[in-house]
Structure 1
Amino acid sequence: MEKQIREKFDCSVAKVLPALKRAPLLNPYFTTSDDRIIEYDVDKLVCEERTDFQKVEIYHTKSFGNMLVLDDLQNLAESDLPYTHGLMNKGNEKYEEKEILILGGGDGALLWELLKKAKICDHD
């Protein structure tokens, strides 16, 4: 179909997009910081709150688990944990008696995992 569109209109680029669903109970579409539209398999809104600083939402998705959305931009999801474990080289690195510097830190997941490793916090 994309080839036919390119030939018909004599253009070098053509894209066919899937149809957007109209009026779903929960909006599955999120805009990224670079203005792309991503569709998630959202099945439940877990939490929604407006703070003095931002709009905070937590959605449950079938593919990614709970997903944090700040000011309508998806931030992180439970499925991101393997990425965090990769950053800390989990299972291969020993942290005893080492000083650790976290630059950025973002969501705090790396700090949380390191604190669990150091047995400073007792949550799983």
Structure 2
Amino acid sequence: MTATASIPSLDGRRFRMVSSTTSAVDPDAPSVFTYWERDGAIWGDYEGDTVTFGRFVGTRTGDSIWVSFVHVLVADGTVVTGDGESDLEMTDAGLIRLVEHYEMHGAPQLSVCEEIAAV
């Protein structure tokens, strides 16, 4: 994490997708993401909803992250690749929100993921 970051480390945190312009999010079984962070590097995995499994790797600069991703779709096994940038925000509940900007199917997309509170 860089010195200019105001959002805590993403290391070991889990997030659930709450909205996406790419597809309707199943509120009962959304995609769930696990993030790891060390020395400015970001990586992790995800699964659920329309995704069988996925992986990502990237970098963090302040309160923004950039990742490349690859995942396999549940519907037909298609492999999807891309990259995107996320702005990190704090919610009123003190959890982290990721506002993700990426391109898919030749058009700009937006999704929002929110941290799953630790139990």
Using the size of structure 2 for normalisation, the TM-score is 0.29
Q: Which has the higher helix share?
A: 1
Q: Which has the higher contact order (CA 8 A, sep 6+)?
A: 2
